[in-house]
DNA sequence: TACTCTTCCATAGTCTAACTATGCATCGAA
DNA sequence: TTCGATGCATAGTTAGACTATGGAAGAGTA
């Protein structure tokens, strides 16, 4: 998940999508999920993840609460809000729109 | 071609690809070509384009020379170097690799 | 004539967000 | 008793796309 690899903002999209599917997860779990689903292509650094979650909290796309994991550890869990669900739709279609445009350019040139 | 839409570095890829197909073009022409091929989804701003071309010159991916356009205007033409051709391959497969990873995450979550 | 639009180049400075580095804390296993 | 994994978080750096701005030259037009 490097600056020179992925679109800025894509991390938001990936987090939103992951939460939409999985319901509620804590940060570390979100990172591992994305990493696994990408078959280890996308490495989600903690220094990217937590700031991203902070931004998303501020924007009201997610809400958070403290709880305990299955292994009895303290962790902060995140859940999508209605605004987050709407944002997911926006970002998903935006992503699709731009990526197919780029693909078009690459294939046409 | 906005920061919140496209991957940083993608502009390089699009320019490289465009030059690879079209042979040699001047800056303004590169911008219009990308824009047209994307069906106006990607707006290539001059404040993005020219700095990108400078970077690419520095990295030796393109070389430039002054000439005149069909309309008899002074313009700077760009052509791919061997290094640029190699870089194009790298960026193209990189792009493909990451985009399919993102798609995988979005579809799997 | 003056005007606006398009073509063409270029740079200075701003801003976003992913990054590195770092710090802290707990648990289980070696 | 050290190490790895789990878990959170922030400070500061960096790349690069952006806005704003400057210039020049030609074509058309009022």
**Mean pLDDT computed over B81-103:** 94
**Interatomic separation, CA of residue B13 and C1' of nucleotide C19, rounded (Å):** 22
Which strands sit side by side in the sheet containing A74-80, from one edge to the other? A24-26, A74-80, A62-68
**Mean pLDDT computed over B75-98:** 95
Residue A109's pLDDT is: 58
Res. B109: pLDDT tops 60 = no
Work out whether strand A62-68 and strand B74-80 pair parallel, antiparallel, or are unpaired: unpaired
Written as tens digits, the pLDDT of chain A (109 aa) is: 665 567 777 999 999 999 999 999 999 999 999 999 999 999 999 999 999 999 999 999 999 999 999 889 999 999 999 999 999 999 999 999 999 999 999 998 5
Residue pointed to by tokens 């990308």 = B34
Q: Which of B31, B92, B99, B103 to mutate to test the interface with A (most CBs of A within 10 A)?
A: B99
Is the Cβ atom of B47 within 7 Å of strand C at any atom? yes
* Chain C, protein-covered positions (CB within 7 A): 7-13, 15-23, 26-28
A105 contact residues in B (CB cutoff 8 A): 14, 17-18, 34, 37-38, 42
Query: Are B98 and A6 contacting, i.e. CB atoms less than 8 angstroms apart?
Result: yes
Number of helices (H), then strands (E), in chain A: 4, 3
**Interatomic separation, CA of residue A53 and C1' of nucleotide D30, rounded (Å):** 58
Question: How distant, in Å, are the alpha carbons of A57, B47, B73 from that of B15?
Answer: 37, 15, 22
A9 contact residues in B (CB cutoff 8 A): 4
Q: What is the pTM for the complete model shown?
A: 0.90
Q: For a pLDDT cut of 70, what percent of chain B falls above it?
A: 92
Q: Which residue of A has its CA nearest to B108?
A: A37
Tens-digit pLDDT profile for residues B18-76: 999 999 999 999 999 999 999 999 999 999 999 999 999 999 999 999 999 988 899 99
């Amino acid at each position: 998940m490097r600056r020179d690899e992925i679109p800025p903002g894509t991390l938001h999209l990936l987090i939103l999508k992951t939460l939409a599917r999985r319901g509620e997860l804590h940060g570390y779990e979100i990172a591992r999920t994305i990493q696994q689903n990408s078959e280890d292509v996308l490495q989600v650094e903690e220094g990217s993840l937590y700031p991203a979650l902070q931004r998303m909290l501020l924007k009201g796309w997610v809400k958070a609460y403290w709880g305990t994991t299955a292994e009895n550890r303290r962790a902060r869990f995140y859940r999508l809000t209605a605004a987050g669900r709407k944002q997911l739709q926006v970002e998903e279609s935006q992503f699709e729109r731009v990526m197919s445009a780029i693909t078009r350019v690459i294939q046409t040139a």
